[in-house]
Chains A and B, each alone.
Chain A
Amino acid sequence: MDSVLRAGAMYVALLVLFKIAGRRSLAELTTFDFILLLMIGEATQQALLGDDFSLTNSVIVIVTLVAIDVGLSLLKRRSRWMSRLIDGEPTIIVENGKLLHERLRRARLLEADVMEAARSSQGIEKLEEIKFAILERNGKISVIAQED
């Protein structure tokens, strides 16, 4: 019983934590983000398994995590409210070549992040060449170029 509770509690705790951290936190993995992810994994492992390193326990934990994950994706399909709560919504951050500074500030983004996405996805050099930049639900920035 406790394996299921542990896995469930850990799932919820991590879900809330990464909601607080925001969608950008692990979208663009820098070297340090990768190390951070490994450390979080290490810290989680012990709490998930406790002092029971049996095959049964680890299978129960994995089954619980996957079941919650599948369950949530089913819920998301049924309820828009749930889907919005878990995945969030995309947000426009550049409109017709102009940065929406107030939105950037709240999303904790820099102009450099937008330009990086513009360069890597569209080969865009200047902000004016961007028609729209959208901060997607998964934290990536998608860029639509101006048509000329």
Chain B
Amino acid sequence: MSDDRDHPELRSRSYPIREDMAYQLKVWRFERVGWYVLVLVVMLALVGLFSRGLISSREVRSDDGKIRVEYEMFHRNGSTNSMKVSVNATPDTAVELELTGQLLEGFSIETLQPVPLRSRSSSQGIRLWLQTDLDGQAKLYITLRGDGLGFYRSQIFSPGTNGIKLVQFIFP
């Protein structure tokens, strides 16, 4: 921006203080660009890049439509978010659901509602048995608290159905 320096008001003075206007202009430019960055951050926060918003809240279904998961893609370390898992299976039976992958490494499960009929650890995660209602629906509400940092990939599936792959990110 050579025209900035040519402006008579923006030339460096040496009395009563020695100025370096080239540097000062850089500082002002930094402040201006910084302001745009701040506005951008606010916008991104509003649309949910930092959890809870349009781009963070996701709903996915397995290919066969039997499992549906509503979850937050972006989490923040130390904050809690809910996850809702719905399974379609034979009415009035126990349906098995397996949570595997890095879910249990990055998050701690604070609450699990309703309490599963049975639960067991498996080689890759945990298995839960839920009671389906007369329409064959079972729902599980999970409260997750983000403990880790970075990306966590996990799967949720029920034996005999296609599973769902989730990618979640935890901010510091």
Give A contacts to B, CB under 8 Å.
9, 16-17, 19-22, 50-51, 84, 88-92, 95, 100-103, 106-107, 132, 134, 144
A-B contact count (CB 8 A): 46
The reply to whether A132 and B16 contact each other, CB–CB distance below 8 Å, is yes
Q: How far is the CA of A55 from the CA of B106 in the complex (A)?
A: 28
Q: Tell me the dominant secondary structure on chain A's binding face.
A: mixed
The reply to whether B19 and A91 contact each other, CB–CB distance below 8 Å, is yes
Q: Tell me the dominant secondary structure on chain B's binding face.
A: helix
Interface membership of chain B positions 21-47, coded 1 if the CB is closer than 8 angstroms to chain A and 0 otherwise? 001110110110011011000000000
9 sample A-B contacts, Cβ–Cβ < 8 Å, listed by A number:
A17-B38, A20-B35, A21-B31, A50-B78, A90-B17, A101-B9, A103-B9, A106-B25, A134-B16
Q: Which of A88, A92, A103 contacts B17 (CB 8 A)?
A: A92
Contact A22/B31 with A51-B78, A90-B17, A132-B16 known, Cβ cut-off 8 Å = yes
- Shortest CB distance A84–B (Å): 7
Q: Say if the beta carbon of B20 comes within 8 Å of chain A.
A: yes
Q: How far is the CA of A107 from the CA of B9 in the complex (A)?
A: 13
Q: How far is the CA of A92 from the CA of B18 in the complex (A)?
A: 10
- Shortest CB distance B88–A (Å): 39
Number of interface residues of B (CB under 8 A): 21
Q: How far is the CA of A91 from the CA of B172 in the complex (A)?
A: 38
Chain B minimum-CB-distance residue to A20: B34
Measured between beta carbons, the chain B residues less than 8 angstroms from A91 are 19, 24
Chain A minimum-CB-distance residue to B7: A102
Q: How far is the CA of A103 from the CA of B10 in the complex (A)?
A: 7
The reply to whether B27 and A88 contact each other, CB–CB distance below 8 Å, is yes
The reply to whether A134 and B17 contact each other, CB–CB distance below 8 Å, is yes
- Shortest CB distance A119–B (Å): 21
**Pairs A-B, 8 closest by C-beta atoms:** A20-B34, A102-B9, A106-B28, A100-B9, A90-B17, A22-B31, A92-B13, A132-B16
Contact A20/B38 with A51-B78, A92-B17 known, Cβ cut-off 8 Å = yes
Chain B minimum-CB-distance residue to A6: B172
The reply to whether A19 and B28 contact each other, CB–CB distance below 8 Å, is no
Q: How far is the CA of A84 from the CA of B30 in the complex (A)?
A: 14
